[in-house]
Structure 1
Amino acid sequence: MITLTGSGLTLGQLKRIVIGKEKVCLCPEAVNKVKQSRAAVEQIIADGRTAYGINTGFGKFSDVTIHSEHTEALQLHLVRSHACGLGEPFSEEVARAMAVLRLNALLKGHSGIRPVVLERLRDMVNLGISAVIPNQGSLGASGDLAPLAHLALALIGEGEVTLDGITLPAGQAWEKKGIRPVRLRAKEGLALINGTQAMTACGALAFLEAEQLAMQSEWIAGLTIEALRGITDAFHPAVHAARGYPEQAAVAERMRNWLDGSRLTTRQGEMRVQDAYSIRCIPQVHGATWQVLGYVREKLEIEMNAATDNPLIFDDGENVISGGNFHGQPVAFAMDFLKIGMSELANISERRTERLVNPQLSAGLPPFLSPEPGLQSGAMILQYAAASIVSENKTLAHPASVDSIPSSANQEDHVSMGTIAARHAARIVGNVRRVLAVEAFCAFQACGIHGEEKLSPPLRQKWDVLAGFVPSLTEDRIFSKDIAKIERWLLEEARKPDPHSDTADGS
């Protein structure tokens, strides 16, 4: 059980909740802050004070005053009208993460909602009720309005949800669980849909996969080094200390550990003086990606614990301030940076695959690893496939955050496109896994040709696992099936609980 407080939620805890299906509970102290914030909203209504989103319209309609008898209808109309998402739905896991992150943000006590709204969000998470949320339609400022409106619909018993793998009307799901949906009151609809939780949820889950994939890329590169009789001197600690980047030095250390005990690797001058950049510069390139990951982790964990709706309530309602915390620019930049950093892992991986299959570069391996060069093509077209995906990533890596289109009659005249950036980041991460699966397949086959018994002990363990579900290349076959198996295995490994993840949950 993980206690949500409105602050301190980590990516490791989010993984446990969303992927590990761990349940959540609400911090009583945080709920008390929420009650105080709600009392402030009620007082504003009773006093007849004008406050944006409580008794006014929204966006360009912010100057339209709403009579107190219509404040509930105002929130219902808001949620229904804004639930205009397009395209295929986000995965259930992204929808679950959105609910967790919205709940955590509301627990900060600046949003003016009732505790019952928190309880229903908690119920969604704990009971496995996931809103069906189309993944297109957010500009990434004014919050993820359309996606979060679909989440809010589920809370009020409208729209669709998934429960136990079945899609059904939200009202039926709540009825099955014996729980009444929420009836929104003043400010609550706005509090639910103003925020960055779609881009942050999508981005956080993409990041968690990316981080594990960066680790996996290192042992896959290690197999390639073994297959190409690579030179280990390039990983000497003195080289990396001389430059000073800790991430680069850490990659070099892990590469030394992966290759320790190998009878295939070489030293300077034994076979050649130096390797190509895709081998020699693994610490520098992969290390730079780890720098990107460190930046993205920091920004995501700030955003996961941020109050991102509008207006925000402070000082027991004395200050109700309209600001712009819903603007997704920090997440947009982080996601665009993640796209670039992960694309480079695929770029350098594809170049290593080329060296494995190209007889002019492969240190004596059969052309294209073919068992009968000429009669059988071997892994020739696998390199084509990897190159195609690498090129696709270059298009997806174009920064979404450099674009902006005005909305709401130019009241909302600059937006982040952060949700597009997060969606594209998730696609790139999946593509990188496929490119690495191609390299792993080719390196596995090449190491088998040299003799797997000559591998370092840790890489021999990886080779043995692959050998359990990937046959040796003795005859041309449908290689897409092999790549799909490796890709699934890499994903399954990435989704396992991280023994080094934080465990402090406050419960």
Structure 2
Amino acid sequence: MGSGLKKVSFGAQRISIEDIVRIAHQGTPVELSTDSLFTKKVDEGVRFLDQLLREEGHIYGVTTGYGDSCTVEVPHSLIDELPIHLTRFHGCGLGEYFTQEKGRAILAVRLVSLSQGYSGVSWDLLNLLVDMLNKQIIPVIPEEGSVGASGDLTPLSYVAGALIGERDVYYNDSIMPSAEAFKQASLKPIKLRPKEGLAIMNGTAVMTALACLAFERAEYLSKLMARITALSSLALKGNSNHFDDILFSVKPHPGQNQIAAWIQNDLNHHSHPRNSQRLQDRYSIRCAPHIIGVLQDSLPWLRTFIENELNSANDNPIVDGIGEHVLHGGHFYGGHIAMAMDSMKNCVANLADLADRQIATMVDVKMNHGLPSNLSGAKGERRYINHGFKAIQIGCSAWTAEALKLTMPASVFSRSTECHNQDKVSMGTIAARDCLRVLQLTEQVAAATLLAAVQGIWLRVEMGELEKSSLTKDVSMMLDDIGSFFTLIDEDRPTDKLLRETIGYIQQKRWDLYES
């Protein structure tokens, strides 16, 4: 895994969402930059902290307790033990465990922050993180337990614990103690320097990693819903004039107009304009660009929020070794990611609702303009016992309802905690986890609606109401590809495996959809 891929270099250049996604999904190898300024920042940070310790300087989390215990002075004889205790008492995470892909993203995002050179960490720590990523030694991290400030303390304690050989990791298709994985990989655990436990744990790596993965899925889903809308319009004998470029020129939201242009092109509007018997289609077709466009227009600012957080030093305190400053603040606060994820899940859930309305229209003989009931392909008397997409549409309603329920913003549910030291927190990690769940549910609805639209098109062709020659090359290629794993539903059959397969193809970006 990851062999032959161009390495992602940390320390001197800005890291993108796509870099994190490649590391997560493909195991792209990583390296530390040899840039002179980067190496100087790391060297000087370590030197300056050592100098302060020799001079008995007062540093939060180094010579004091943590959080509300910042007023407790730690005897110098115990300073070396303090970071180990931080990793241990935060080992209380619960819930499901993050997948290896998400774990890789979390490791990579934490490495980005520490590689800014303002965390006072050693080369030993940075190099071990690099080795863990390259050798696929990934901490087993529980999903629950972070309030998003002081960052992702509890989940990131599983990263810190793995580094010192005290927690479990995924390695060679097994779960084992990190000390054993290190031994098999010819690596050694590290001993945390005075600030290093805090540097690893006190930041936004978990929520930001999940945000990177969510962004990539949302970006593709926006394009997919444009294609599904075009296919649904074809199945419903819709009016292609609803997506006319002149029409959209008077409402200049660029993302919305991009969606309309994609749909218009898919419908082959200029070569084969489709003027239905209805002057206006229902909103789930006619207003699709206005619905999908909200997400499409949000993607640029969502990227800015996520990538700025990704490329930040977000622990506390910040150590400027070159300027010889220790700066105490709150960069661990995940407010920007919380807002991005709460906003994204709202936009995405609206796509679930849109797709659900489209499939509901296609299965209903009162609204589907001549298609068979429930899109069943059964003929003759077989029509009376076959039910086509009836249950699939019921499933869509359930998945959509759950997605919409999860749009309640997590970021407004701050709770004072940790003896009222953390009296205002971001809930960014909960927002990010919610967003990924909404994406999953929406992809399920999209998969079902995609298959329904394809069935509807095949039925129109069969009925002699649609000429395959009038379809664009891109639409025809996608229909042919879907036909390689999906055959017309004429006789009722279980479709759960088909749906899971289609969802998997969506998440793998099987279809090349448009160029932005």
- TM-score range for the pair, normalised by the shorter chain length: over 0.9
Q: Is the 8 A contact 1:240 1:249 kept in 2?
A: yes
Matched position secondary structure for 2:257: helix
Matched position secondary structure for 1:28: coil
Show CA shifts across 1:85-111 (max 9, x none). Answer: 111111111111111111111111111
Compute the displacement of 1:7 (Å): 4.8
2:198 corresponding residue in structure 1: 190
Gaps of 5+ in 2: 1-6, 462-466
1:504 corresponding residue in structure 2: none
2:468 corresponding residue in structure 1: 453
2:448 maps to 1:438: yes
1:392 corresponding residue in structure 2: 402
Compute the displacement of 1:155 (Å): 0.9
1:273 corresponding residue in structure 2: 279
Compute the displacement of 1:69 (Å): 2.0
Give the Cα separation in 1 of the matches to 2:78 and 2:385.
78
The one-letter amino acid paired with 1:208 is E
1:60 corresponding residue in structure 2: 68
2:322 corresponding residue in structure 1: 316
2:375 maps to 1:369: yes
Give the Cα separation in 1 of the matches to 2:142 and 2:100.
11
Give the Cα separation in 1 of the matches to 2:409 and 2:511.
27
Give the Cα separation in 2 of the matches to 1:422 and 1:495.
26
Give the Cα separation in 1 of the matches to 2:368 and 2:8.
51
Q: Is the 8 A contact 1:24 1:125 kept in 2?
A: yes
Give the Cα separation in 2 of the matches to 1:137 and 1:484.
30
Give the Cα separation in 2 of the matches to 1:178 and 1:52.
35
Give the Cα separation in 1 of the matches to 2:68 and 2:449.
53
Q: Is the 8 A contact 1:152 1:193 kept in 2?
A: yes
The one-letter amino acid paired with 1:45 is L
After TM superposition, the structure 1 stretch with the greater mean CA deviation from structure 2, 33-42 or 446-455, is 446-455
- Among 327, 332, 336, which residue is 2:333 paired with? 327
* Inter-CA distance 184–125: structure 2 relative to 1 (3 Å threshold): same
1:210 corresponding residue in structure 2: 218
2:429 maps to 1:414: no
- Among 402, 412, 415, which residue is 2:412 paired with? 402
- Among 463, 486, 490, which residue is 2:506 paired with? 490
1:505 corresponding residue in structure 2: none
- Among 111, 129, 145, which residue is 1:121 paired with? 129
The one-letter amino acid paired with 1:449 is L
1:153 corresponding residue in structure 2: 161
Give the Cα separation in 2 of the matches to 1:464 and 1:318.
64
After TM superposition, the structure 1 stretch with the greater mean CA deviation from structure 2, 30-39 or 409-418, is 30-39
Matched position secondary structure for 1:142: coil
After TM superposition, the structure 1 stretch with the greater mean CA deviation from structure 2, 20-29 or 324-333, is 20-29
Matched position secondary structure for 2:95: strand
The one-letter amino acid paired with 1:54 is V
Give the Cα separation in 2 of the matches to 1:349 and 1:130.
37
Show CA shifts across 1:400-458 (max 9, x none). Answer: 00101111111110111110000010011111110011101111111111117253332
- Among 497, 501, 504, which residue is 1:481 paired with? 497
> Larger relative contact order (C-alpha < 8 A, sep ≥ 6)?
1
The one-letter amino acid paired with 1:333 is M
* Inter-CA distance 471–494: structure 2 relative to 1 (3 Å threshold): closer
For this pair of structures, how many residues does the alignment match?
498
* Inter-CA distance 495–90: structure 2 relative to 1 (3 Å threshold): farther
Show CA shifts across 1:229-270 (max 9, x none). Answer: 111111111111101111111111111221217998622xx4
Give the Cα separation in 2 of the matches to 1:495 and 1:182.
44
Compute the displacement of 1:40 (Å): 0.8
Stretches of 4+ moved more than 6 A in 1? 261-265, 498-501
Matched position secondary structure for 2:96: strand
2:305 corresponding residue in structure 1: 299
Gaps of 5+ in 1: 502-507
* Inter-CA distance 385–265: structure 2 relative to 1 (3 Å threshold): farther
- Among 472, 476, 485, which residue is 1:469 paired with? 485
Give the Cα separation in 2 of the matches to 1:241 and 1:459.
25
**Which structure 2 residues correspond to residues 29-48 of structure 1 after superposition, within 5 A?**
29=35, 30-48=38-56
Compute the displacement of 1:204 (Å): 1.1
* Inter-CA distance 349–264: structure 2 relative to 1 (3 Å threshold): farther
TM-score normalized with structure 1 length: 0.95
- Among 181, 187, 195, which residue is 1:173 paired with? 181
Give the Cα separation in 2 of the matches to 1:36 and 1:347.
54
1:256 corresponding residue in structure 2: 264
Matched position secondary structure for 1:316: coil
**Which structure 2 residues correspond to residues 63-142 of structure 1 after superposition, within 5 A?**
63-142=71-150
Give the Cα separation in 2 of the matches to 1:368 and 1:263.
31
Matched position secondary structure for 2:48: helix
Give the Cα separation in 1 of the matches to 2:453 and 2:250.
31
Compute the displacement of 1:379 (Å): 1.0
Give the Cα separation in 2 of the matches to 1:236 and 1:55.
66
2:389 maps to 1:379: yes
User: Percent identity at matched positions?
Assistant: 33
**Which structure 2 residues correspond to residues 492-507 of structure 1 after superposition, within 5 A?**
492-493=508-509
Give the Cα separation in 1 of the matches to 2:355 and 2:55.
64
Matched position secondary structure for 1:88: strand
2:3 corresponding residue in structure 1: none
Show CA shifts across 1:452-484 (max 9, x none). Answer: 725333211111111111111110111222212
The one-letter amino acid paired with 1:453 is K
TM-score normalized with structure 2 length: 0.93
Q: Is the 8 A contact 2:20 2:209 kept in 1?
A: no
The one-letter amino acid paired with 1:349 is A
Give the Cα separation in 1 of the matches to 2:285 and 2:514.
30
Give the Cα separation in 1 of the matches to 2:435 and 2:266.
29
* Inter-CA distance 149–99: structure 2 relative to 1 (3 Å threshold): same
Matched position secondary structure for 1:400: coil
Compute the displacement of 1:294 (Å): 2.3
2:51 maps to 1:51: no
Compute the displacement of 1:316 (Å): 3.4
Give the Cα separation in 1 of the matches to 2:271 and 2:318.
63
Q: Is the 8 A contact 1:71 1:185 kept in 2?
A: no
Compute the displacement of 1:21 (Å): 1.5
* Inter-CA distance 263–109: structure 2 relative to 1 (3 Å threshold): closer
- Among 233, 257, 266, which residue is 1:225 paired with? 233
Q: Is the 8 A contact 2:478 2:511 kept in 1?
A: no
Q: Is the 8 A contact 2:241 2:273 kept in 1?
A: no
Show CA shifts across 1:152-192 (max 9, x none). Answer: 11111111000122111100100011111111111111111
Give the Cα separation in 1 of the matches to 2:163 and 2:273.
59
Compute the displacement of 1:217 (Å): 1.6
